[in-house]
């Protein structure tokens, strides 16, 4: 290709903090086709297939086929991370210690490399999500879905035309390099959220833990933005799923909803606003609720409450403690004036 500018359809169109890429939306439709095709016959499998392609949808559209190998690697890493979390969840004390240590290790890696940044901002929270699996076989099944979904997405990407410009997410990576102290606080946030979940015997231990790890960032402003964005997006996605299951939709309707969610997640992944959790939560909630709509209200309260818990823990370790430490450092000089 000789063009130096991306085709208009491949450029994310930004409206304030929301970006939309028509090319990525179309790619998301193709990603969601298997789930939509299966849902009329088997709702559970159809929704599960849609969840499996979410990592690829959120990853964006690398410009070249060579670069698109990263989507396959990302999907496999997603599955393996969740599976590791599921294994660790069988021994809660070990799980709490491990997530704390991994926070320190991934922060140190993030200060050195792009791969380390991915490990800190994605792989680490996915280990926390894995804590929600009390059964190793279920965790293995979820991991397999992610791997199968990424394999399908990789095949699609090898066929999809190359572009002059990638539609990656400009928010990825840390504008501020994480310090050792940040790593300690990151690990402490994850460990605290996990410990509370295990002690209270929450059904989904990973929800609060993942929320804490997903919103924490070395840059305070970015953490504030993600904290607000996550609680709003999760609440909206869960509420939308609850509203849908309560009308008693058919398998075909579930398939249409799944393909729409995957497409929207792909199209908006480059937004400055943290909107991705709305689509992931929507699909996960459909999978949780379609067979038991009567639990919709309690599931909604559980999801929003545990997300708020995780964000509060992240606030304490990511914003409140550093602010208090900075105030203590300033107080001697202020007192001597």
Q: pLDDT-based confidence at 174, cuts 50/70/90?
A: very low
- For 176-205, what is each residue's pLDDT tens digit? 789 999 999 999 999 999 999 999 999 899
Average pLDDT over residues 220-228: 93
| Residue 10: per-residue pLDDT | 45
Q: In the chain, what's the furthest Cα-to-Cα distance?
A: 75
Kindly report, residue by residue over 99-136, the tens digit of the pLDDT: 999 999 999 999 998 888 989 998 999 999 999 998 89
Pick from 66, 59, 69: nearest CA to 31: 59
Share of the chain above pLDDT 90, in %: 68
What does the mean pLDDT of the chain come to?
Answer: 88
- The pLDDT value recorded for residue 206 is 94
The yes-or-no verdict on residue 3 having pLDDT over 50 is no
Q: Please tell me the least confidently modeled range out of 8-22, 66-80, 216-230.
A: 8-22
pLDDT, position 163: 76
DSSP secondary structure, 147-186, as one string: HHHHHHHHHHHHHSPP-SS----TT-S-SSPPPHHHHHHH
Cα separation of 39 and 264, whole Å? 19
How many Cα atoms within 13 Å fall on the side-chain side of residue 183? Answer: 19
Least confident piece of the model among 1-5, 59-63, 107-111: 1-5
Confidence of residue 173 (pLDDT cuts 50, 70, 90): very low
pLDDT at 170 over 50: no
Instruction: Give the span between the Cα atoms of 34 and 36, in whole angstroms.
Output: 5
Would you kindly state where each structural domain of the chain is located, as residue ranges? 21-171+199-321
* pLDDT of 166 over the 50 cut: yes
In 3D, which of 40, 60, 37, 35 has the Cα closest to residue 50? 35
What is the per-residue pLDDT across 259-309, written as a single tens digit (0 to 9) for each?
999 999 999 988 888 999 999 999 999 999 998 999 999 999 999 999 999
Rg of the chain over CA atoms, in angstroms? 20
How confident is the model at residue 4, as a pLDDT? 38
Q: Are 248 and 294 in contact (CB under 8 A)?
A: no
Q: Each residue of 24-45: pLDDT tens digit?
A: 999 999 999 999 999 999 999 9
Specify the pLDDT at position 134. Answer: 85
């Amino acid at each position: 290709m000789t063009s130096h500018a991306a085709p208009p359809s491949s450029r994310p169109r930004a409206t304030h903090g929301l970006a939309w890429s028509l090319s990525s939306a179309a790619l998301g439709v193709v990603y969601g086709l298997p789930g939509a095709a299966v849902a009329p016959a088997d709702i559970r499998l159809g929704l599960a297939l849609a969840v499996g392609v979410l990592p690829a949808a959120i990853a964006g559209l690398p410009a070249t086929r060579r670069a698109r190998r990263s989507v396959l690697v990302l999907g496999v890493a997603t599955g393996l991370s969740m599976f590791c979390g599921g294994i660790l969840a069988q021994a809660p004390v070990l799980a709490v210690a491990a997530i704390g240590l991994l926070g320190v290790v991934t922060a140190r890696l993030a200060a050195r490399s792009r791969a380390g940044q991915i490990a800190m901002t994605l792989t680490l929270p996915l280990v926390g999500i894995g804590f929600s699996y009390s059964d190793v076989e279920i965790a293995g099944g979820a991991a397999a879905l992610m791997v199968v979904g990424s394999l399908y997405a990789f095949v699609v990407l090898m066929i999809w035309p190359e572009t002059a410009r990638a539609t990656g997410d400009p928010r990825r990576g840390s504008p501020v390099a994480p310090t050792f102290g940040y790593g300690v606080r990151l690990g402490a946030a994850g460990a605290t959220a996990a410990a509370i979940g295990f002690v209270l015997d929450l059904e989904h231990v990973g929800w609060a833990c993942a929320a804490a790890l997903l919103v924490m960032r070395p840059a305070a402003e970015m953490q504030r933005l993600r904290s607000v964005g996550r609680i709003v997006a999760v609440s909206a996605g869960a509420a939308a799923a609850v509203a849908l299951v309560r009308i008693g939709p058919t398998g075909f309707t579930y398939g249409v909803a799944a393909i729409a969610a995957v497409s929207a997640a792909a199209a908006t992944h480059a937004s400055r606003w943290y909107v991705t959790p709305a689509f992931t939560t929507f699909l996960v909630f459909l999978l949780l609720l379609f067979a038991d709509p009567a639990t919709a209200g309690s599931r909604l309260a559980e999801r929003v409450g545990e997300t708020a818990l995780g964000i509060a823990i992240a606030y304490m370790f990511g914003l409140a403690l550093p602010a208090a430490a900075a105030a203590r450092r300033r107080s001697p000089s202020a007192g001597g004036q």
